[in-house]
Homo-oligomer: A and B are copies of this chain.
Amino acid sequence: MTTEATGSDALSGPTLVGVAELAGVSRSTASRVINGSPNVTEETVARVNEAIARLGYVPNRAARSLVRRRTQTIAMVIPERTAEFFADPYFAEVIQGAAMYASSTDYSLTLLIESESDPAKAHRFLRRGNVDGALVLSHYSASSDYLELSRSLPVVFGVRPAGGIDAEIHIVDVDNDSAAALATEHLIETGRTRIATISGPQSTSAGRERQRGWHRALADAGLGEAGCEEGDYTPASGAAAMERLLAGAGGFDAVFAASAQMAAGALEVLSSRGIRVPEDVAVATIDNNVFTTTTTPPLTTVDLHTAGKGATMVATLERLIRGEHVEAMTPVPIELVRRGSS
């Protein structure tokens, strides 16, 4: 800190030959030490490292990039549409997770906005060797263009591409089926036997998958379904679904709601009917967000590790860049968070 250069010197800074001279070795040897080559004497390594420390040397990124043909940069491709993207804290969290993880690696994360007026611009940027790989976070862009891009550049998708999935691409996403099963299994483990569900819209794959997970967990435990009503992920729809469930013939001692917002709505109805949670009816859901902590009682839920998804996307891309084999689908770890509703 004390002896660091200031002003424009900061941009030039100490150079490899400076290190080499101070250490009394050649540039080649200094470079080998820097890059962790095994073929260097212990003593030489020490001398070079000392020189590096003394000078506060850091390799020039451009020079290194030029010769290695690696940029050490990855792009996060995000859609331009504000409403669908930045307004959604989900995406902000994915980006944060990715940025945090990237900061622990040698890669820089560049934000690449896919302009609606010129979507090809982002593609050009990506194809021009500006980055070593790309993370794609937009449904919109998950078109055949990107599928094609992933043949010439390592690409990891954070969303399922609209066009069918072929073996060439790599996706990091949460396993909705497992998340639903995890919540349902938890209800079963706590002794519930008649478990209903408030499902998400069956027109969406996530909605279908979560319902399937609930069903599977029941089947695996030898239990039958105790009711199933569909909502649209809003609290109001959750409340309405709960009303229908209560009006139904079969009783139930637990409910798995496919989203926290719907669970919150359902809780209101139970409360207004004097049905105690969790004594009379246990509730478990998915999404560890503000809706699960502000309800009474707070909701047992499955944390989708959204920030972890961002991190996993980067980690997966790193493997791809290194040329390692990567499965087409990398699930994001999920976790049950137990609270008062079960």
The interface of chain A, by Cβ under 8 A from chain B, is: 4, 6-13, 58, 60-63, 65-66, 69, 71, 73, 76, 78, 80, 82, 85-87, 89, 92-93, 95-96, 99-100, 102-103, 108-113, 115, 121, 124, 127-130, 151-153, 307
Contact = CB atoms under 8 A, between A and B. Distances in A.
A71 B62 contact: yes
B69 A152 contact: no
A62 B131 CA distance: 11
A194 B129 CA distance: 63
Contact of A58 (B87, B93, B128): B128
Residue with the highest number of chain B CB atoms closer than 10 Å, among A63, A108, A121 = A108
Contacts of A71: 61-62
Contacts of A102: 111
Nearest 8 CB-CB pairs, A to B?
A62-B65, A62-B66, A10-B152, A99-B111, A86-B96, A11-B129, A92-B92, A103-B113
A76 B60 CA distance: 20
A103 B118 CA distance: 11
Given A102-B111, A110-B111, 11 more contacts: A6-B151, A8-B152, A13-B127, A13-B128, A62-B62, A62-B66, A73-B110, A78-B99, A99-B111, A100-B113, A103-B113
Contacts of A12: 69, 129
